[in-house]
Amino acid sequence: MSEAKSQPEWSAEELRRAVKSAGVALWTWNVEDDTFVMDAKAYELWDIPVEEDLTFEHLSAKVHPADRDRVRAAFVATRAIDGPFEIDFRILAGASDVRWVSARGQGNEGDAATKKMTGIFLDVTGRKQAEEGHELLAGEMSHRVKNLLALAAGLTNITSRSTDTKEEMAMQLTQRLTALGRAHELVRPLPDGQGSAALLGDLFNVLLAPYEDVGAFAGRIRVAVPRMGLGEKAATSLALVIHELATNSLKYGALSSDTGLLDISGTLTDDDLEIVWSEHRESRGDNDPAREGYGSKLLQRTISGHLGGSIDYQWGENGVVVTLRLKESRLAG
């Protein structure tokens, strides 16, 4: 048998270089008199003057209040236990600088007479922030999925009561869910931590684009609205409104005619956003479809409930003018 390869011996200088390159801070806690000894890296990590004499109690005052009791309990428990331990916690380094520290220690391998513990501090702020970011993203995705499922269930219920055949129900439900999907795709992060938003003009243009492609109607939809962002919930709700108005127009209004015109304009005054949906066609029937049926109820419920606004219809000889009045502050959510 070949002899086992001997382990290398590291010099003190080599160990110091390795510790420095790894960003490791060293500490020793004398349990007997509660004194805490640290190297320069640890003083820098904790934002404490090097010349300051330390005790464990003094150091624990720098621990984040939410973690302080947990850290004290963990360190006290190690007095009766030999062997390694590890705990992560937050410290207050400066007026507003919160850092995550991982304390890893080792007892005296059964030699309780010395009553000392030695270990290292590691700055794990970057890792913890990444973990928190992943948790936040997972929570946000779960929240979005739940909202969309609840909305889909409501749409299914409404559509089932407003259609006579399963084929008609499938078609209308698919169209409504597709509109929601298009709106959801538009929602994107804004700079400087301002959240997520879709641009109001983009929402109209994307959702009305399929009607622009219908034969001779191309080019006769005009959209001129203020450049402003919409939050996820507002974008989803407004997408339903746009889809329902477009559906009514395709059945009865300007989009049902080869010569029809659809003009959408908007004005923003202080916190009040007014959007005017104006249709024009050569003639229309006697029925005012927007005042009837579950599509109308969906519009009223969405505008007044989800968006906290109002919707008004004015019927003229050549078409309908729909006025939406909304609060800009409600559209950010």
Per-residue pLDDT tens digits for 78-137:
666 666 778 899 988 876 788 999 888 776 554 555 577 788 888 888 888 888 777 766
List pLDDT tens digits, range 258-278: 778 899 999 998 888 999 999
Q: Tell whether 274 and 139 lie within a shared domain.
A: yes
- Domain membership of residue 8 (yes or no) is no
In the prediction, which pLDDT does 199 show?
83
281-316: b (≥16 Cβ within 10 Å) or e: beebeeeebbeeebbbebbeebbeebbebebeeeee
The whole-angstrom separation of Cα 193 and Cα 200 is 19
In a domain, 3, yes or no: no
* Residue 40 shares a structural domain with residue 100: yes
Task: Tell whether 96 and 230 lie within a shared domain.
Answer: no
Mean pLDDT of the residues in the chain: 76
- Kindly state the tokens that stand for 169: 């129900």
Cα dist from 35 to 24, 53, 107, 110, 174, whole Å: 20, 8, 16, 21, 70
Query: Picking from 37-41, 81-85, 274-278, 304-308, which range would have the lowest pLDDT averaged per residue?
Result: 81-85
Summarize the confidence of residues 18-24 as an average pLDDT: 77
Residue 140 lies in a domain: yes
What is the chain's alpha carbon radius of gyration, rounded to the nearest angstrom? 33
Share of the chain above pLDDT 70, in %: 72
Most confident among 63-67, 156-160, 207-211 (mean pLDDT): 63-67
CB-side neighbour CA atoms (13 Å) of 235? 27
Do 32 and 50 belong to one domain?
A: yes
| Strand residue runs (E) in the chain | 25-30, 35-38, 84-92, 98-106, 116-123, 188-189, 196-199, 221-224, 229-230, 261-269, 272-280, 310-316, 319-327
In a domain, 2, yes or no: no
Instruction: Identify the pLDDT of residue 225.
Output: 92
**Which domain covers residue 319, as residue numbers?**
128-331
Number of domains in the chain: 2
Q: Which residue has the higher pLDDT, 44 or 81?
A: 44
Give the pLDDT confidence of 159-203 residue by residue, as tens digits.
Answer: 676 678 888 888 877 877 776 676 666 665 555 545 556 788 888
Residue 269 backbone phi and psi in degrees, to 5: -125, 115
